[in-house]
Structure 1
């Protein structure tokens, strides 16, 4: 047993589960039962804890699985061993989601993704349409941020050649800015206690998190998702917090207009994380969509 696996086992909750997929030891929690799988994809710098207030009510209607995405929570943080390794690229993450659906014993899933989790959910639907029954995209980064970021090629070569230096610099920057950045995800920041923020931070900063995050940063590419939206034809709900600072509500409105047949839900009095800040309103919106779209019968 390696050091990180020992750490996983020590920090795991009684209901934590693990499975191996695509080079990762994935940490997840599974609630509910039935033939329909709902897979929850949290945003960057967070963990499956982001779904803690909504997973139980969602599990009253289906099998629900929340997992720690790569570089987050108790999922392992393997480091590339060769030049061709791209464990943390967006494409690799979408392939991981498809593999995870299979490993969990299902052919398809309804993907609910928040922020960059929404980016990966949409990309999974594009790359593995046979695996996705429906989408719920919550403040997804499609036209900005993660989905459109890319390090210029000359700079990328320098950063790869000086990995230890740039990894340490990024570690210092994230550590200094983390609290402020997470608080900005919330519209009413007083709803996020200091104790909960410390817990969220501890979930992220585990093991070689800085090296793994740097590999994810190096693998970030402009995904061109906006040019591929018309190829999708599956039930989709786009959710935005009325006061989202991370992904402007206007972007979610645009996405709902450009995705064929998509439905838009604007949740008032919240920011980038409606599942955390307005969980009751979030669950109601999701439940209404799943039933009206026929995804739950």
Structure 2
């Protein structure tokens, strides 16, 4: 079946060109799609030949669609690709605080997919916090998509390890309102622009990524709305709640882990996967938390192999 996102070209390309920096990856593919209170930034990349599935790419907390930039060319060898900036991230505007929890974000993502009128087979690929979002979406909406058939979830460096109990029960409710307040996010954006904070943050992932990607992250973290969205998404994640209903997930799932991932440690992550996703395929490679940015061609082949055997 040929994938057909009927409205992928219906967004505002000119407004996207005005909004994005001139050096932004795949800028010509960018569209702004207005839907309720949100102005979504998305990039649709048609496959080089028909008959493949649609890959929906969901980035992690604090990132944007730019993080997939070096995977686009190899992925379009076999699939249509839809990469979005999640609410509160990148160039998607109009996010409300209530949208930053997994169930609400899955709901607005579902609204976007319905609006775009995509059909065919669907593989949802989520990096870091994008993986639990993919799972939340699948649990709620995978069987409610006329014409669109979800066939698999692929989680790259999935953020499925809950925060420490001390944070969850004591510090989280206190820190979250402070960290997500406008003065705090404004200060963090100022620090990002005037210190080496972003590079230190990227170094802490255990990944070595290209300078061009670092430059894009530096830009994003000078934007207060992006900083606020990242902090709210992080503060609003209810991983224990997601894991308690993971047994209801019917889609086949594959996870790719980084042995040097300093943000989501391999051993506790494997324990969570073994307990909550016992039928999932698990692969571990050398690399850090941004594995798809340091080994893009290999990760694209990994996804292709999964798709071809699905």
State whether structure 2 residue 34 is matched by structure 1 residue 20: yes
**SS of residue matched to 2:28:** coil
Distance 1:36 1:116 in 2: 23
State whether structure 2 residue 279 is matched by structure 1 residue 266: no
Cα 1:156–1:247 change in 2 (3 A) is closer
State whether structure 2 residue 105 is matched by structure 1 residue 88: no
Tell me the number of residue pairs that the alignment of Structure 1 and Structure 2 aligns. Answer: 279
Q: Which whole-Å deviations, capped at 9, do the CAs of 1:25-60 have from their partners, x for residues lacking one?
A: 111111124462210011122111111111221122
Cα 1:215–1:200 change in 2 (3 A) is closer
Pairing of 1:137-148 with structure 2 (within 5 A)? 137-145=155-163
Match of 1:133 among 151, 156, 164: 151
CA RMSD across the alignment: 3.3
Alignment-derived partner of residue 89 in structure 2: 72
Alignment-derived partner of residue 181 in structure 1: 201
Distance 1:236 1:158 in 2: 34
What is the TM-score when the length of structure 1 is the normalising length? Answer: 0.79
Alignment-derived partner of residue 278 in structure 1: 295
Alignment-derived partner of residue 103 in structure 1: 115
Alignment-derived partner of residue 120 in structure 1: 133
Q: Which whole-Å deviations, capped at 9, do the CAs of 1:180-226 have from their partners, x for residues lacking one?
A: 11222243x3x432x54122221343363344445545644455222
Alignment-derived partner of residue 48 in structure 1: 65
Structure 1: any 5+ residue segments left out of the alignment? none
Alignment-derived partner of residue 11 in structure 1: 20
Higher deviation after alignment, 195-204 or 52-61: 195-204
Kindly indicate whether the alpha-carbon contact (under 8 Å) linking 2:41 and 2:91 is maintained by their aligned counterparts in 1: yes
Distance 2:140 2:240 in 1: 12
Kindly indicate whether the alpha-carbon contact (under 8 Å) linking 2:54 and 2:79 is maintained by their aligned counterparts in 1: yes
